[in-house]
Amino acid sequence: MSNAQEGVISMRRSLTFLGLTADPGAKVWGKVDLVGDADGIYPQAPLGIVNGISDGPTAWLLAGIHGDEIEAIAAAQRIFRDLDPSRLAGAVVCLIVTNPTAFTAWKRESPVDGRDLDEVFPGSQRGTFSERLAHTLISSIRSLATEDDCVLTLEGGGRSVFSARLIEVRGSGDENEERSMRLAEAACNPNLKIVVRLALKKGAGEWAVIHERSITTVLVRDVSVERLSIECGSMGLLREADILAHYDAIFNILAYKKMYDKPIRKPDGEIIKVPENARVLPTRRGLWKRDVDVGMKVVKTQRLAAVLDEMGNEVEVLEAPFDGLVLYIRGFGLVDPLAGELGNRYGINVGRYQ
């Protein structure tokens, strides 16, 4: 190693997160305990840290917040594998499986307490399993993150949702939204060019309420990191295009933030910006028959799906609330809106097309 190289490396410090340490110019991985489980009952989370050779921001990648969103997990594995610390300024911290008990069960929620991890932040040190996990994550990131950093959740449709490939930006109406929106546009690539704004103000509807306690909403109350949710994946099919959409988005972001010297992969055609979206839910029990696909343009009152009774009669028809784009289609088979949490798994999200 040359003296010049030694001088560059000395600019960086070692980075320790959740007990795992990476020296400057190093790539390390290990399994970490997220809930203080001294008895080893619960599986540990695979964590990778790539520490660059010069100073720069940290990109925090969280995949597998929902255990059935396996396309994001596959992408995180590939991203960590291909990152070269000698080409990196700053660091990339990659939780490859953020919610290991949910992943082991291949479910959205942890089977330990039935909670959705991304709906319990900031969590609690004395709460349920998911609340303790959330507390560990957000307090550990909060202690290290700066405003130059970005927090990127890698997500997807899971095993019961068809999802368009899209990026969600929290609509906070401030400078953080503007910075995050620019980051989202930079992340777009040949397999990903829809950017959805999720309003976080009161009166924005159910969709905003769902995200009130997500990590990307709660964390910025303490540190104004850029924040995105990258949603690519459907039904656990592990399609290559979904994995590549995540992969290219992350490397585009690293290039945009001048952290990595990899060419940006630009999208084909214009980026589609969706300023708002609405969730259309069934109210009747029966067979769930959808009539549209994700990514499809629809016009106001266009038929989206129907609920059929035992004899095949339509007992309910769902229609588009406005001209827009189909973003998510939840559920398949038999729909039962009265079946507790399962009932909320059905419905169609339509984004207003702009």
Alpha-carbon separation of residue 217 from 48, 82, 222, 274, 352 (angstroms): 24, 29, 10, 19, 22
pLDDT score of 9: 40
Q: What is the pLDDT along the chain (354 residues), one digit of tens a residue?
A: 333 334 344 468 999 999 999 999 999 999 999 987 656 678 899 999 999 999 999 999 999 999 999 999 999 999 999 999 999 999 999 999 999 999 999 999 999 999 999 999 999 999 999 999 999 999 999 999 999 999 999 999 999 899 999 999 999 999 999 999 999 999 999 999 999 999 876 544 455 556 788 999 999 999 999 999 999 999 999 999 999 999 999 999 999 999 999 999 999 999 999 998 998 989 999 999 999 999 999 999 999 999 999 999 999 999 999 999 999 998 778 888 877 554 456 889 999 987
Inter-residue contact 79 to 88 (CB < 8 Å): no
Alpha-carbon separation of residue 252 from 145, 218, 238 (angstroms): 21, 25, 21
Inter-residue contact 90 to 254 (CB < 8 Å): no
CATH number for the domain spanning 344: value is 2.40.50.100
Residues 262, 292 within the same domain: no
- Which of 243, 273, 303 terminates a domain? The answer is 273
Residues 219, 285 within the same domain: no
pLDDT score of 343: 46
CA 209 to chain centre: 17
- Which of 273, 299, 317 terminates a domain? The answer is 273
- DSSP letter assigned to residue 270: P
- Which of 216, 243, 273 terminates a domain? The answer is 273
In the chain, how many domains are there? 2
Distance CA 295, CA 245 (A): 15
Classify strands 45-51 and 20-22 as parallel, antiparallel or unpaired.
Answer: unpaired
For the four alpha carbons of 172, 176, 177 and 183, in that order, the dihedral sign comes to negative
Residues 292, 265 within the same domain: no
Residues 231, 314 within the same domain: no
Question: What domain range is 31 assigned to?
Answer: 3-273
Residues 261, 281 within the same domain: no
Residues 106, 217 within the same domain: yes
Residues 263, 285 within the same domain: no
CATH number for the domain spanning 10: value is 3.40.630.10
Residues 265, 283 within the same domain: no
Distance CA 39, CA 67 (A): 22
Distance CA 235, CA 253 (A): 26
Distance CA 274, CA 352 (A): 6
Residues 173, 302 within the same domain: no
Radius of gyration of the chain (CA): 21
Residues 228, 310 within the same domain: no
Residues 215, 317 within the same domain: no
Alpha-carbon separation of residue 267 from 185, 193, 234, 352 (angstroms): 10, 6, 20, 21
Residues 220, 79 within the same domain: yes
pLDDT score of 142: 97
Distance CA 346, CA 2 (A): 60
- The owner of tokens 């769930």 is 288
Q: How far apart are the first and last CA of the chain?
A: 53
pLDDT score of 40: 66
